[in-house]
Amino acid sequence: MTATGVTPTVLIPVKGFRLAKGRLADRLSEFERHELARNMASQVVKAAGSLPTKIVCDNDEVADWAHAAGAGVLWIDADGLNPAITAAVAALETVSTSGEDFGHVVIAHADLPYAETLDGLAEAGTVTIVPDRHLDGTNVMALPLGTGFEFHYGPGSFGAHCAEALRSGLDLRVRRVAALEFDIDTPDDLDAAELGARAPDDAR
């Protein structure tokens, strides 16, 4: 149990590594993008620590990597991030009714190169949102299961998720966490996170 008295399950959605981060193609080779995506995902799994962690994927390579990293796998065949997360959360809710304690979930993006810990974010009856550095996206979100929360990942998701928390009648907490605010999608992100000149193996 964490310091907040809630033990969540961590969900990390991961697409296939091989074609990941296409918007970095002008700066990194396909191999470098593959390694960067894999290393960042490994860092997020490490940040989950001892919390039960499941990788949401529909890719054999990712599933094999997840098992090697000590994480479980939720095989979700869905078109898009929001349907995938919705299905993964529904799967946890089904498990929780079978007697396992999955009353809370932390959803973390897999491209957070400086992630240190995901502990302490989950709080009973509360949606905790860690936005990106632009206050636009939702890098990490913790919320209770069984609330009918609708996910709005994509541009403007931070504001949309704040509104959804209030609509759902849940308490809302916004946390700015420097180690979690950098996600890597564009060359500007690489520069801001000072990863542009690093070899992929150094991006852990």
pLDDT in tens, 22-39: 899 999 999 999 999 999
CA–CA gap between residue 82 and residue 31 (Å, rounded):
28
- Checking DSSP bridges between strand 171-174 and strand 126-131, what pairing results, if any? parallel
pLDDT at 202: 40
Angle at 112 between CA 35 and CA 3, to 5 degrees: 135
Tell me: pLDDT of 170 over 90: yes
pTM: 0.90
Instruction: Using alpha carbons only, give the angle 8, 12, 18 rounded to the nearest 5 degrees.
Output: 165
